[in-house]
Structure 1
């Protein structure tokens, strides 16, 4: 049985938690495309407003925490213990977080008025790009980086990563208050 089974996803299983987060990334990225298609057919309605609100909530809060989990905890450790190929993949993947963040800011600009019930639109081409790039990024991490964690990191190190992930969310929720 893999140490990273997603049957029981807690911060005690940080890689499984990251994969579960990727599942939500895929869900909300797909919802972004569906929202753009819905707006073309149905216009701005309560369903569109609810979808925009959900997408905003996820990508404004959870996605940045997820990137921090990788960029501040997992990736530095894997780079330290990995070979040159893994280090290069991690460097390019981490750099892509900034590019994806900029893409998110563009999408976000369209979602804010939609979520607020002020009307608006979401360009289909932009939503399509967003719905493809985020899942492709997640797939790359899951297929090329995460498997190395099981090989290179011991249980206490993984436990420390999980604790950092949990603490990051506690701090984030405290700031929100």
Structure 2
């Protein structure tokens, strides 16, 4: 089992640790959204708000879809053939949540783009908190259920291949 207190940098040679590290970033950027909403309510759209909005956009436009692909296309695909009953149901629910979170993100993306472009945007603090909490709860469920299953059901050679695919997903396209 992964040591949560180990602060060494993780790489694609340990894909499960990479997925955990991605969840830490999910928690950070999801948590930043309600803080941004509160900041805009109190201070308006200032340089700090624009910087935060850009950071949130960058994470959820680039890193989050890659993370979801890592899980859906690699980890969940491996586990789906090895789980049954309640564990398989949980896995399928989490896959559906990726799509739901992606659709919800598009709403926030539009608001943040409007804010950055100076068109004004109202960021509802309650809605921002709900989105953040849903994303964080999703990550918690994966860590509670899926990742422990992976530690026991996915072979080391499969993890190596998974890590390579994760790394390849992040390689710039060459034309």
TM-score range relative to shorter protein: over 0.9
Provide the rounded CA distance (Å) in 2 between the counterparts of 1:117 and 1:51: 14
Give the unaligned 5+ runs of structure 1: none
User: What is aligned with 1:91?
Assistant: 92
- Does 1:33 pair with 2:34? yes
Which residue in 1 is equivalent to 2:173? 174
How far is 1:81 from its partner? 1.4
1:117-156 CA-to-partner distances (Å, cap 9, x unmatched) read 4432211122111111000000000001100111001110
Q: Deviations over 1:44-83 (max 9, x none)?
A: 0000000000000000000001001111110011111123
- 2:113 counterpart residue number: 112
Match of 1:22 in 2: 23
Deviates more, 1:58-67 or 1:80-89: 80-89
Deviation, structure 1 residue 3 = 5.2
Q: Secondary structure at the match of 2:63?
A: helix
C-alpha displacement at 1:18, in angstroms? 0.6
CA distance in 1, matches of 2:86, 2:77: 14
- How many residues align? The count is 173
Contact 1:4 / 1:13 at 8 angstroms: preserved in 2?
no
1:82–1:152 CA contact under 8 A, matched in 2: no
Q: CA RMSD in A?
A: 1.6
Flag the 1:22–1:89 CA change in 2: closer, same or farther, 3 A: same
Unaligned runs of 5+ in 2: none
TM-score of the superposed pair, with normalisation by structure 1:
0.92
